[in-house]
Amino acid sequence: MASSRPIGAITRGTTNPNRLRRVDRWLTGTQAPRLRSAEAPIVVDLGFGASPITALELHDRLRAVRADVRVVGLEIDPARVAAARPLTRDGLDFAVGGFEVPLPGGARATVVRAFNVLRQYDEEEVADAWATMRGRLAPQGLLIEGTCDEVGRLGSWVALDVDGPLTLTCAWRLRGLERPSVVAERLPKALIHRNVEGERVHRFLRELDGAWERSAGLAGYGVRQRFLATAEAMAAAGWPIVGGRSRWRLGELTVAWDAVRPS
């Protein structure tokens, strides 16, 4: 679906190698069945920035799951696209585009990854951007929208299907972690201003810190054991945690969206 003008605004474009490794690891792990079952999977790196490194890395990582995957890096800035195009290779293309996710022949995306894009927008713009991108998904497609720090040690993302948000995933570099609520500074735009009393995400982070503190006695066995106990405590307390120990060991925790959505 071609668009005469890309939808969105040019972002700062800051990126670094391996910045998106945590969300890519989640994608290639938890979403491998989605990629394998797609007839001709197309994965979009929306807003790849001033450097195409995240699209290159995404293509490399996804090929381990599905060798014939096609990755399309989209950017609103034509100069960024022109600079990236010499790196085009089999299964990896670059094009001008925004939230309208233009793909040749009206093709729809299996996955759209939009990272560190909406962070630079107003909160009121999020719903429309989500709806526009979701409208370009294949029937079983997934939108991953989130934020991470500059070196990829801390981040979070919302997973959405064609009907709306499904989950929130938070990811930490466990070594040196002081408290899980540090992820508040890297919440997606839909939630970053909601970490205040009375909001669900605030309660989630507060209780996560409490479970972390109560698990302090396990620190002597390593930070991973402490985090595993923290995640188990959250699940036992009734939080709708998605996934289990194999993801928790990586420093990930996923919760159903309804448990943290804005009030």
pLDDT tens for 143-192 read 999 999 999 999 999 999 999 999 999 999 999 999 999 999 999 999 99
pLDDT for the residue 13: 74
pLDDT for the residue 159: 98
pLDDT for the residue 15: 85
pLDDT for the residue 116: 95
Chain mean position to CA 119: 12
Q: How many CB atoms lie within 10 A of CB 29?
A: 14
For the chain, state the CA radius of gyration.
18
Question: β-strand 42-46 against 109-115: which pairing, if any?
Answer: parallel
Contact in structure between 252 and 148 (CB atoms under 8 Å): no
pLDDT in tens, 104-128: 999 999 999 999 999 989 999 999 9
* Residue ranges of the chain with per-residue pLDDT less than 50: 1-3
Tokens 């990236």 correspond to what residue?
84
Please tell me the number of Cα atoms within 13 Å of 45 on its side-chain side. Answer: 33
pLDDT for the residue 4: 67
H or E element: which one contains 239? none
Q: How many CB atoms lie within 10 A of CB 37?
A: 11
Report how far residue 122's alpha carbon sits from residue 50's, in angstroms, rounded to the nearest whole number.
22
Tell me, which fold does domain 21-172 have in CATH?
Answer: Rossmann fold (3.40.50)
Domain ranges in the chain?
21-172, 180-241
Contact in structure between 24 and 250 (CB atoms under 8 Å): no
pLDDT for the residue 3: 46
Q: Which amino acid is at 209?
A: D
Give CA separation, 70 vs 5, 42, 74, 160, 247, in Å: 24, 5, 13, 20, 26
pLDDT for the residue 14: 79
pTM: predicted TM-score of the whole model, two decimal places: 0.95
